């Protein structure tokens, strides 16, 4: 079991590091003109053929509305279901577990995508992420249209949802999903806006027990900031590994670990670290394990993760 947990944590971290970079994020998601995922043609909603520029700048041509879709990344799968294309999904990655219906779908591998399996499913569209690494090039070589996501911030998550909505002929539903997510963000912002700067807790985001964390330019940094906290790694760009000494020096008020789904004892192990006994978060019992799949996947459920973090940071503001 320990070996299994180690493998899963390693793969989670690989996805995060590969999929996320060091672009700066705003503390408050704003309406932006997309830098990727925009149409290069302007057909009416739901009409084909169309050409879409994906998050890597690649132009993806779709002659017709995709009837069969393979998704090789859980976040892309969740987006497809959210915008109304779930019935068209015929293949998913080994890590897909949401929604429940994905358990009925053919599995096409993990980060090492089984290209032959994907092709055998005869998809009209493949949904991928830059976190799939070299598999993206291999998928493109099949000649099947491949739409690639890369969402590092909330605004880029919105763009990914709109992009997949356009590609699957579900523009209106995608707009609804994004609107609901923005309402969730606004709800949290309204609840914490009166919290003075001095009362905003210093937060350590632990992505992995080897002390990888999220700096600015990541959606996890966005979540902590929007939720009324101060990321103690907010002076760093992207995903970074800190030494134990540096984490202890920064003495967080709250510790959030994002791998609790895969290691149920993760929070307890943090509390038991010998050198961490004088850390404020440990002394005050404010070490929390987050729902890994909700906070790690840049998709529609990310605002659920935001609310979960906000409740951990300011429980008094979210009591019913």
Query: Does residue 33 sit within a domain?
Result: no
Task: Give the model confidence (pLDDT) of 301-316 as tens digits.
Answer: 999 999 999 999 999 9
Indicate whether 31 belongs to any domain.
no
Residue 19 has pLDDT above 90, yes or no: no
Burial (Cβ within 10 Å: 0-12, 13-18, ≥19) of residue 250 = middle
Domain annotation covers residue 189: no
Is residue 41 in some structural domain?
Answer: no
Q: Residues 26-58: pLDDT tens digits?
A: 344 443 333 344 444 444 456 899 999 999 999
pLDDT at 99 over 50: yes
CA distances to 83, 106, 272 from 94, in Å: 22, 9, 33
User: Is the CB of residue 162 less than 8 Å from the CB of residue 174?
Assistant: yes
Q: Look over the chain and give the mean of its residue pLDDT values, rounded to a whole number.
A: 88
106 and 224: one domain? no
Confidence band (pLDDT; 50, 70, 90) for 112? Answer: confident
98 and 171 belong to one structural domain: yes
pLDDT at 17: 43
Residue 90 gets the label, from left (phi > 0), alpha (psi -120 to 50) or beta, of alpha
Instruction: Find the mean pLDDT for residues 239-261.
Output: 95
Q: Are 171 and 46 in contact (CB under 8 A)?
A: yes
Residue 35: the pLDDT is 35
Distance in angstroms (rounded) separating the CA atoms of residues 6 and 209: 10
Closest CA to 147 of 46, 39, 43, 219: 39
Both 122 and 173 in one domain: the answer is: yes
Domain extent for 164: 50-182
**Domain count of the fold of the chain:** 2
pLDDT at 279 over 50: yes
Q: Which of 182, 208, 236 is the last residue of a domain?
A: 182
Phi, psi dihedral angles at 247 (to 5 degrees):
-65, -45
């Amino acid at each position: 079991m320990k070996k299994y947990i180690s493998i899963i944590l390693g793969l989670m971290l690989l996805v995060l590091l590969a999929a996320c970079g060091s672009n700066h994020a705003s503390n408050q998601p704003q309406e932006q003109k997309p830098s990727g995922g925009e149409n290069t043609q302007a057909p009416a909603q739901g009409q084909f053929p169309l050409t879409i520029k994906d998050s890597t700048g690649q132009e993806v041509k779709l002659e017709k509305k995709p009837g069969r879709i393979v998704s090789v990344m859980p976040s892309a799968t969740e987006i497809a279901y959210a915008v109304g294309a779930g019935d068209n999904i015929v293949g998913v990655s080994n890590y897909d577990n949401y929604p429940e219906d994905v358990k009925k779908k053919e599995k096409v591998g993990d980060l090492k995508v089984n290209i032959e399996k994907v092709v055998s499913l005869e998809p009209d569209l493949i949904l991928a992420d830059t976190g799939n690494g070299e598999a993206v090039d291999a998928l493109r070589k099949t000649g099947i249209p491949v739409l690639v996501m890369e969402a590092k911030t909330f605004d880029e998550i919105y763009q990914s949802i709109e992009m997949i909505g356009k590609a699957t002929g579900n523009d209106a539903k995608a707009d609804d999903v994004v609107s609901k997510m923005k309402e969730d963000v606004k709800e949290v912002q309204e609840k914490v806006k009166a919290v003075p700067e001095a009362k905003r807790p210093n937060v350590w985001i632990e992505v992995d027990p080897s002390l990888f964390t999220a700096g600015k330019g990541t959606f996890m940094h966005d979540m902590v900031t929007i939720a009324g906290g101060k990321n103690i790694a907010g002076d760093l760009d992207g995903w970074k590994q800190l030494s134990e000494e540096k984490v202890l020096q920064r003495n967080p008020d709250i510790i959030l670990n994002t791998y609790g789904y895969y290691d149920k004892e993760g929070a307890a192990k943090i509390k038991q670290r010998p050198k961490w006994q004088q850390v404020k978060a440990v002394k005050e019992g404010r070490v929390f394990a987050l729902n890994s799949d909700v906070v790690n996947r840049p998709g529609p459920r990310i605002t659920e993760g935001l609310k979960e973090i906000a409740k951990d940071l300011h429980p008094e503001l979210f009591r019913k």
